[in-house]
Structure 1
Amino acid sequence: MGETTPYYIGLMSGTSLDGIDTVLVSFEEGSVQLHYALCYPLTNDLRQQINQILSPEWRGSLMEYGHIDQLLGLQFAQAVNELLAQAQIRPEQISAIGSHGQTICHAPTADMPFTLQAGDPNQISEHTGITTVADFRRRDMAAGGQGAPLVPAFHRAIFFNPETHRTVLNIGGLANLTVLNMDSTAPVYGFDTGPGNTLIDQWAFKYTGQHYDKDGEWARGGTIHTDVLEAMLKDTYFKLIPPKSTGREHFNLGWVAKKIGHREVAAQDVQATLTELTAITISQALQEQAPQTQELVLCGGGVHNRYLWERIQHHCPNVKLLSTADLGADPDWVEAIAFAWFAKQTLEGKPSNMPSVTGARGERVLGGVYSA
């Protein structure tokens, strides 16, 4: 790795809580180079604390939240230091860290809209010696936007193709689409379609003890319960017109229980139904908002769920499904890479939100800078 290469580090901790995605990247016009990546595990104790605070029933204290905020900041810093050690890179070679943080609450439709991400960036900067950029979402919300999804700006910079109508599908905890019309003058738009992996993973953990349904095999062996699926599809979120975004505050196991109601449904059948819910809400959103799509490019952890992939293809038979790996970007690291790119944009004084996606009044430079 050359001494003059401007390196950036991206940090992402999603709703799956499987670890801190940590990447070392450099950028050239229209391309990204991934030099090193690791998933730094969260401690079981911290994962349990985060799950408690994410529960809609949580009635904890500000002291508890502050404790988690600081612990997460320290774990983010440890993830960065481990990456530097493994990649044999010195802190002074890094231009900046872009940290998404751990979303604790995302409430874009509240009377006073807000979003809250834990993982104190002061701790990251202090314990790595690297300038850190964080708190990307709230400036967009202050400008009247949803604060999400943010990654469409990065998708546009990296995945746009003037020869095809391409839509990028990120299947993380939530699923979101970025619609990239081949006409470069057409506005980019994107939105959360609804649950991605979050309900699938939570249900799998509750009944199998596994943090995810490997290859979707447990769901594949179940039967889709049409009554429950229809009840789920009646949720008002799916009827909203973009811009829109959501989170675990809305889609959680309490929500699943309400939709099942008094029906007796086997746990494996619920898993099959939840997987179908993700697939069908993605396909419906695509058909309603981007019917011109020729290529659907997948990234995020959901890429590895073969059964989910098959169900999406079943509902979108005329669309070619690809992985971002086919375009030179490892699907497991795209979101973390995006936040490295956001840090670069911020330091260069460039906007990184897209008003056509979030609904903000205009472009804004996002994030606060915490100098080394």
Structure 2
Amino acid sequence: MISHSTSAKRYFIGIMSGTSLDGVDAALVAHTGDAFQQIDQAFVPYPAPVKQILLALHEPANNELHVAAMMANTLAALYADAVQKLLAQSGLPAAEITAIGCHGQTIRHCPDLPDAQAYTLQIGNHARLAELTKIAVVGDFRSRDIAAGGQGAPLVPAFHQAVFASASRNRAIINIGGIANISWLPATGQVTGFDSGPGNMLLDQWTQQHTGQAYDANGDWSAGGQVNDALLQAMLAEPYLALAAPKSTGRDLFNQQWLARHLQTKTDRPQNIARSLVELTAVSIADAITRFCPNTDEVYVCGGGAHNRLLMSRLSALLGCAIEPSDTLGVDADWVEAVAFAWLAQRCIDGLSGNLPAVTGAHGPRVLGAIYPA
């Protein structure tokens, strides 16, 4: 439960479109003095051409500024569609929503550049979204943390602490989207969090390439393959995986080119490569928890990867414990990140910090986000 100075009920909408590039998750939440409760949710898929353009924007190209600006307008329209869908489902008018928290779509994330040149870029045209919905929008959550010397990510551990922490149990929360990140919530002591490495991203791309499906449902296709040990060890030797927090990553590192470099000398059946990518995700997460989350009592998972039965089975075996969905703690595993950005919007509107310096490496707590009035 989250404390707040006012007892009046307010509604916020959180919008998340992550590295998986599957579409827009939107969650409607009610916030009162002692509760932050999910009310409704909606999903708007990305049309195939939108996904293709967003993938291309991760690499330098001719006229990319124009393409990015046009795509930001397209995204604003898709975000607005998700908001309208939520309002229609819930019966709430736009005037009842205090604000929308919109993460935007990351197309570059470069927090480790030297000489104060670090930056992160999420597109989405928040001004247009405010105009289309007639609701205030809070966006650009990551930039202030980076300006304060932080990684700008992950931001969800602060939300995880607010809603998932226990006074008696050491909990690890694993969020598996395109990238996997871990929040360490000890019963006493300092909360930490970091991006552990690839989540679904590499497997999704490989599955699309070889089966025509957007993802490997339940891990069924991967389960028919065998781990290529030489390939797995080569991928696990990626220096990022051994770094201590604070750290964050994305498609700027773990992309098709990264996988292609490893496959130049280690070819195999496509199904075996898929199985090896599942193992990469499982082992990198398990290793990170073992190294950085001591004496873990409970492990919970959220994000799309929670539905991959093969991945969950491997994680459970590697960690030697059961892994429960975040539903057990009161937030549906599919909607945790969208709800988190509704929470971050509330923090910004109320002038409260939204980052955890121990997670991002920022010089101190900061109010995150820029407000675009209705």
Q: Distance in 2 between matches of 1:103 and 1:238?
A: 21
- Aligned sequence identity (%): 43
What SS does structure 2 have at the residue aligned with 1:146? coil
1:349 to 348, 351, 355: 351
Q: How does 1:173-188 map to 2 (within 5 A)?
A: 173-183=178-188, 186-188=189-191
Q: Distance in 2 between matches of 1:350 and 1:97?
A: 16
Q: Distance in 2 between matches of 1:162 and 1:300?
A: 24
1:327 to 315, 326, 329: 329
TM-score by length of 1: 0.96
Alpha-carbon shift at residue 62 of structure 1 (Å): 1.3
- Structure 1 residue 263 and structure 2 residue 266: aligned? yes
Q: Distance in 1 between matches of 2:253 and 2:24?
A: 23
Contact 1:53–1:60 (8 Å) recurs in 2:
no
- Structure 1 residue 295 and structure 2 residue 298: aligned? yes
1:361 to 342, 363, 374: 363
2:111 to 94, 108, 113: 108
- Aligned in 2, Cα 1:107/1:169: closer, same or farther, shift over 3 Å? same
Match in the other structure for 1:48: 52
Runs of at least 5 residues in structure 1 that lack an aligned partner in the other structure:
none
Alpha-carbon shift at residue 281 of structure 1 (Å): 0.3
Alpha-carbon shift at residue 59 of structure 1 (Å): 4.3
Q: Distance in 2 between matches of 1:188 and 1:271?
A: 33
Contact 2:10–2:32 (8 Å) recurs in 1:
no
What SS does structure 2 have at the residue aligned with 1:81? helix
- Aligned in 2, Cα 1:269/1:137: closer, same or farther, shift over 3 Å? same
Between 1:56-65 and 1:356-365, the stretch displaced more is 56-65
1:249 to 237, 242, 252: 252
Match in the other structure for 1:87: 90
Match in the other structure for 1:129: 134
Code of the aligned partner of 1:299: C
Q: Distance in 2 between matches of 1:216 and 1:64?
A: 34
Match in the other structure for 1:211: 214
- Aligned in 2, Cα 1:220/1:29: closer, same or farther, shift over 3 Å? farther
Q: Distance in 1 between matches of 2:339 and 2:29?
A: 7
Q: Distance in 1 between matches of 2:280 and 2:62?
A: 30
1:78 to 73, 77, 81: 81
Code of the aligned partner of 1:157: A
Q: Distance in 2 between matches of 1:322 and 1:139?
A: 33
- Structure 1 residue 153 and structure 2 residue 158: aligned? yes
Code of the aligned partner of 1:240: L
Alpha-carbon shift at residue 169 of structure 1 (Å): 0.6
Contact 2:151–2:361 (8 Å) recurs in 1:
yes
Alpha-carbon shift at residue 42 of structure 1 (Å): 1.9
Runs of at least 5 residues in structure 2 that lack an aligned partner in the other structure:
1-7
Code of the aligned partner of 1:295: E
Contact 2:230–2:266 (8 Å) recurs in 1:
no
Q: Distance in 2 between matches of 1:59 and 1:190?
A: 37
Contact 2:120–2:152 (8 Å) recurs in 1:
yes
Q: Distance in 2 between matches of 1:58 and 1:283?
A: 37
Aligned length: 365
- Structure 1 residue 118 and structure 2 residue 123: aligned? yes
- Aligned in 2, Cα 1:31/1:273: closer, same or farther, shift over 3 Å? farther
Alpha-carbon shift at residue 201 of structure 1 (Å): 0.8
Alpha-carbon shift at residue 251 of structure 1 (Å): 0.3
1:273 to 273, 276, 284: 276
Code of the aligned partner of 1:294: D
Match in the other structure for 1:23: 27
Alpha-carbon shift at residue 28 of structure 1 (Å): 4.2
Q: Distance in 1 between matches of 2:35 and 2:272?
A: 42
- Structure 1 residue 96 and structure 2 residue 94: aligned? no
